[in-house]
Amino acid sequence: MNVDYKNITILSEIEKKVKTLNKLRNTRIKMSLRLKKYSERWKAILFVMNIEAVVFVLLSLGGEEIDSIFTGATFSILAGIFSIYVILIQYYINELNYNERALKVHYHQLDIEDLILRLKDLLIKDNSDKNRLTEKDYLEEFNTIMFEYQTLLKNNENHHPIDFEVSMREKAENSDKLKRIFDLTVDNIVLSFNLVLIILLPIVTTVILLAMR
């Protein structure tokens, strides 16, 4: 769709930016919630993984009284590999800093809300006979807000497309009838893999050990 930029006015541009910043703020809120969810789920997963790793190590060191199979090389290797994996995955998750990033994004959306309120204040002043500004004042204030907006964007990480999709879905009418959005981000795939791992690991290990008797 072609836009006639010659007819743009400062007030129409302010109104347009309010809508744009509202969309961005809602998207940042969804991003913050998504990262917070990852953080909470990883805490539970790593807790269980550490328990399993400790149990495996203890069985490999003193499990001969329970069953001789725990003294074999196969079980010791499996216990060692899993323990190393737990250490590496914890290091990987710590580097991602989900909780800190979620908090930073939360503060970012608050900063955006502040810009939105300042833009709305300009529109309110235009509707007030006593507080109406000159066009030059509107332009100066608008440019100041846009400069701060660009600075905020440069100093924060980009959101994932799924955050925007979730935000738009919730705003849509009859959102319950829309196609469900699945989180296929790398973060969620790795998280889901490890969730399945901690459930299947004891079962698979038992099957392998029984098969080698």
pLDDT tens for residues 86-139?
999 999 999 999 999 999 999 999 999 999 999 999 999 888 877 788 888 899
What is the C-alpha to C-alpha distance for residues 158 and 108, in angstroms, rounded to an integer?
Answer: 11
Q: Could you tell me if 208 and 78 are in contact, meaning their C-beta atoms sit under 8 angstroms apart?
A: yes
Distance CA 209, CA 111 (A): 57
CA distances from 124 to 70, 148, 164 (A): 75, 21, 29
Residues 60-84: what's their mean pLDDT? Answer: 75
Q: Which of 4-18, 136-150, 154-168 has the highest mean pLDDT?
A: 136-150
Q: Does residue 138 contact residue 15 with C-beta atoms inside 8 Å?
A: no
The stretch 145-149 carries a mean pLDDT of 94
Q: What confidence category does residue 76 fall into, taking pLDDT thresholds of 50, 70 and 90?
A: confident
Question: What pTM, to 2 d.p., does this model score?
Answer: 0.85
**pLDDT confidence band for 172 (50 / 70 / 90):** low
